[in-house]
Chain A
């Protein structure tokens, strides 16, 4: 960088002397990238806000969607995401410590802190994969209506959610999944749900303890519960059973919620993943002594900026997907 700037004077170039803004070329370019990437993420989150405000009365409540913790049964809303947030912040801290050790030219300390940062990133990506798997698999199952709305089931006496497996009747039928080898042309169909609409409806009629919950949020901020009669009328519109979530159907409520969840957390997860890869490359460079020879550890500082940025984005994703 020094060779490309030809001023000999001690004048202040935006406060930085020979290096404008007192930041090296590489660091400045990293900041350019971070600002543009921040705008990309903001665009995604703003469009999430658009869809949410458009369907403000029927949007899923995050506390009821993400309730699982690995290895534990029961209802623990947000605990696991809070853990993930902490892991990411913690790995940011070890990154800062690596940068700090780099300034003091302590090679072994940099190696250890980079290693811990990589481990933290890997734990986070793994946790996110688990979140996705749980979300895709689903909890209780639901019914989708003609209008594409979701009807969920609740036990009338306890107020707890009821899984369709708990009350659906088993009616023997001849419906088999159409597979490629039996199709006339390139015909096949997605996996059939465990129960048919008919089985769920019959099971619902037989069990007077089950009520339907619609997507609509009432003044208390809870989903509206229908009476028995209203529930039966609603079930007349049922078209299919939904288990879990994908880009087209979503048992938790609005399908847009699932679309944005996959897209935004996926895009963020991809950033974390590439961050881990870049960290690993730098980690090996530190071990090989590249920066020791170069005389400074600025490269660690630059990947550090990217790593903190990933953490920064997660803080916003956490708020807008899980809290608000």
Chain B
């Protein structure tokens, strides 16, 4: 069991006095991020929905990045990966990231191909 806690978040920008205050700080941060997501989702600013990057709207990229940020703080502070040995941390984090990135890439490319076939091929499905 890791009894010593690393109490710095945001790369040392914020340092907490105890593990308990750190948890509340992380909670506030996660709540803020979720609030930003919900507000953006309700307003849907024209500037973000209008422009797209790599085939996806900018707004959706923002949602996905904010989700990864939340996932990072849940894993690092709630699941206390921050206090584990870096070898354990890397084994846990990079294995799924590599496999999932590969799977998502393959499936989304394939899905886009099927979409093109439905759209331009001699297939009628929308009637």
Ranked nearest first, the 6 interchain pairs of A and B with the lowest CB-CB distance are A53-B111, A147-B127, A21-B88, A319-B67, A50-B107, A308-B78
Number of interchain pairs (Cβ within 8 Å): 155
CB of A313 to closest CB in B, whole Å: 9
Interface of B is mostly: helix
- Taking Cβ atoms with an 8 Å cutoff, the residues of B that contact A are 1-3, 19-20, 23-24, 27, 30-31, 34-35, 37-38, 41-42, 44, 49, 57, 60, 63-64, 66-67, 70-71, 74-75, 77-80, 84-88, 91-92, 95-96, 99-100, 103-104, 107-108, 110-112, 114-115, 118-119, 124-127
Task: Check A23 against B88 for contact (C-beta < 8 Å).
Answer: yes
Within 8 A of B (CB), among A298-324: 298, 301, 304-305, 308-309, 311-312, 315-316, 318-319, 322-324
Within 8 A of B (CB), among A58-115: 58, 63, 77-79, 82, 85-86, 89-90, 92-93, 95-97, 99-100, 103
**Is residue A39 within 8 Å, beta carbon to beta carbon, of the partner chain?**
yes
Question: In the complex, what distance in Å separates the CA atom of A31 from the CA atom of B92?
Answer: 7
Q: How many residues of A contact B (CB 8 A)?
A: 69
Residues on A with C-beta less than 8 A from B1 are: 24, 27, 103, 296, 298, 301
- Taking Cβ atoms with an 8 Å cutoff, the residues of A that contact B are 14-16, 21-24, 27-28, 31, 34-35, 38-39, 42-43, 46-47, 49-58, 63, 77-79, 82, 85-86, 89-90, 92-93, 95-97, 99-100, 103, 145-147, 149, 215-216, 221, 237, 296, 298, 301, 304-305, 308-309, 311-312, 315-316, 318-319, 322-324
Task: Check A21 against B127 for contact (C-beta < 8 Å).
Answer: no
Residue among A23, A53, A93, A298 making CB contact with B27, cutoff 8 Å: A93
Residue among A22, A55, A322 making CB contact with B2, cutoff 8 Å: A22
Residue among B70, B85, B107 making CB contact with A22, cutoff 8 Å: B85
Task: Check B23 against A93 for contact (C-beta < 8 Å).
Answer: yes
Residues on B with C-beta less than 8 A from A305 are: 79
